[in-house]
Amino acid sequence: MLQVSRISTIFGAIAAVFGISAVSVPAHAQIETPVGTFAPSVAITSNYIFRGLSQSRKDPAVQAAVEYTYEVGAFTPYLGMFASTTKFPSNNTPAGSVDIRQPRELDLFGGVRWKTPLDGLSVDLGFISYTYPGNTADENYGAGPNTYGNPQWNEVYGKFAYDFGLAVAVGSLYYAKDFSYGSGKAYYYEGGFDVPLPFSILGSARLGRQTIERNATWGTPDYTTWNIGVARDMEWPFAFTAAFVYSDTNIKRGSSLGFDNVANANATLQSDTYEQTKGQVALTFTKKF
């Protein structure tokens, strides 16, 4: 039987980059202490992709993460933090006078993982808060005809992973009471597989669906996203994980961040925002400590 922990070790290091939802995300490399285990890592990616949308306008991003865990029998409570540079389209349009910026992301998360009595099945229940320190969207809300509200939001989630020998099946559900920019209730569903390949390569495939209560406020219709990827632990010139992912959505040109209902139901945003949603790739190198 495959080891779910190995599947998650490789993809856990890059899960936040690609929106991959391996349920058990234990330490990348572990620092054992009398009060628990710490798992720090740093990464550089050619393109920060989250749920099919580029968070860096297809430019590179630098990232760091740390997770604390403490095993209690079959249960593993955890707390963690993920940080990344970001680059979102500016809102400094001819119709607006405010340049909206979100230069960085800081996510705080926590929950508990459970190795169930059913052999191979793991469950993860948790909470995540997405924040953008230094953003100018919230502070400039109402300052111009195309300005937004608060981009930050919180989610609760449930995940599972089942190791059935040839592969690991994974699934997840995320719920936000008030999604980014005040766009109302939102759900994200995702499922897929992690499969070992020759030469110590791990393959992954995911299919996801994002639904949003107030689509015009957020800027896209409900959409479907998918990605396929490969990852491998490398030992030279030092220990790191290399991963490559192709991601795409079914969002069409003209629907991609096309209208801002907060400001004006007919206000068209920058046309290059479509670049965030169409097919794209990312190459990521993660160093584990």
Q: CA 101, CA 225: separation in Å to the nearest integer?
A: 25
Instruction: Please say whether the dihedral angle defined by the alpha carbons of residues 17, 18, 22 and 23, taken in this order, is positive or negative.
Output: positive
pLDDT digits (tens, 9 = 90+) for 207-250: 999 999 988 778 788 999 999 999 999 998 889 999 999 999 99
What DSSP designation does 90 have?
P
pLDDT digits (tens, 9 = 90+) for 172-202: 999 999 999 888 999 999 999 999 999 999 9
pLDDT digits (tens, 9 = 90+) for 161-174: 999 989 999 999 99
Question: Residue 270 has which token pair?
Answer: 């920058």
Give the list of residues 6+ apart from residue 237 with CB closer than 8 angstroms, or none: none
Domains present along the chain, CATH in parentheses: 4-288 (2.40.160.40)
Give the list of residues 6+ apart from residue 286 with CB closer than 8 angstroms, or none: 13, 14, 28, 41, 42, 43, 240, 241, 243
DSSP 268-280: E--GGGGGGTSSE
Q: CA 211, CA 56: separation in Å to the nearest integer?
A: 22
